[in-house]
Amino acid sequence: MQPLKITAKLSNAFAVYDNWSPSLDSLLEWLTLDRLNLTQSNPTNEQIAASRPIVDQNMPLLKGEISGEWYWSVSSPCYVLKSEYTDKYRKRWDSHDKSLNWGKRKAKFDTSQGGEKSYDLPLFCRVADSIFWYGAGDKDNVSELLANCARIGKKRSQGNGEISQWIVEPIKEDWHLWRNKELMRPMPFRLLFTHPNMLASEYYQLDWGWRPPAWHTANKELCFMPKCNVVRV
């Protein structure tokens, strides 16, 4: 394990709703499970707990620890934001499509609810040449996993967040948590509020999933959030 800088060179805009996504530790956990053929849609608490030893054994990132709490040693995404815009993503069902398989259901459209619900929602897109993360881990295994990832961010199936190249390179210092006394990744308030580098009034606080899977309520709590990872021009 060694300090790393992990860079995704981008071909187009990527879609995110905050300054702390995409999460590289979540992505690497999913890629690890996918390589082992163990990914599941909407896993239960029991399934998540059962997969944890497997993920821990195969993850190419160093497992950090602070005050007895573990986390994966990787920073929030860092990039220079060149521009941003709002796009739309839509779904409209064709009620005249004769090829739809309704199974045992009555062939009836209801575009206000259920599977046939139509929507027209905003998609917030950002333009940057690249995104990079600081981390600590196994360079070759990180590179091997990321070679299977062609897009990042939201609405990837619509072509957003296309990656032209992944670059994983060793660096001299480990900056995944602190860089020049600046916080580099979300960390729980309860673990850092007494840390000598922290000036609590300078940091935004947010309920955040600081360990994967980030959507799981057990991994969400009040965190200090990095403030210098996204630079706007």
Query: Over the stretch 85-138, which tens digit does the pLDDT of each residue have?
Result: 887 776 656 555 555 666 666 666 555 555 556 667 788 889 999 999 999 999
Q: Which residue did the predictor score with more confidence, 170 or 85?
A: 170
Residue 134 is assigned to a structural domain of this protein:
yes
Residue 206 is assigned to a structural domain of this protein:
no
Q: What is the reported pLDDT for 42?
A: 78
Residue 202 is assigned to a structural domain of this protein:
no
Residue 197 is assigned to a structural domain of this protein:
no
Query: What is the C-alpha separation between 151 and 225, in angstroms, rounded?
Result: 25
What count of residues does the chain have?
233
Average the pLDDT over 40-49 and give the result.
82
Q: Cα 62 to chain center, whole Å?
A: 17
Query: What is the C-alpha separation between 182 and 175, in angstroms, rounded?
Result: 9
Residue 97 is assigned to a structural domain of this protein:
no
Pairing of strands 178-179, 204-209: unpaired
Most confident of 54-58, 84-88, 131-135, 155-159: 131-135
Residue 220 is assigned to a structural domain of this protein:
no
Which segment of 64-68, 177-181, 196-200 scores lowest on mean pLDDT? 196-200
Residue 192 is assigned to a structural domain of this protein:
no
Residues of the domain holding 12: 2-90+110-177
pLDDT digits (tens, 9 = 90+) for 135-149: 999 999 999 999 989
Residues 6+ apart with CB under 8 A from 190: 221, 222
Nearest-CA neighbor of 176 among 216, 136, 145?
Answer: 136
Helix (H) or strand (E) holding 24: helix 24-35
Q: Which residue did the predictor score with more confidence, 205 or 89?
A: 205
Which segment of 115-119, 127-131, 183-187, 210-214 scores lowest on mean pLDDT? 115-119
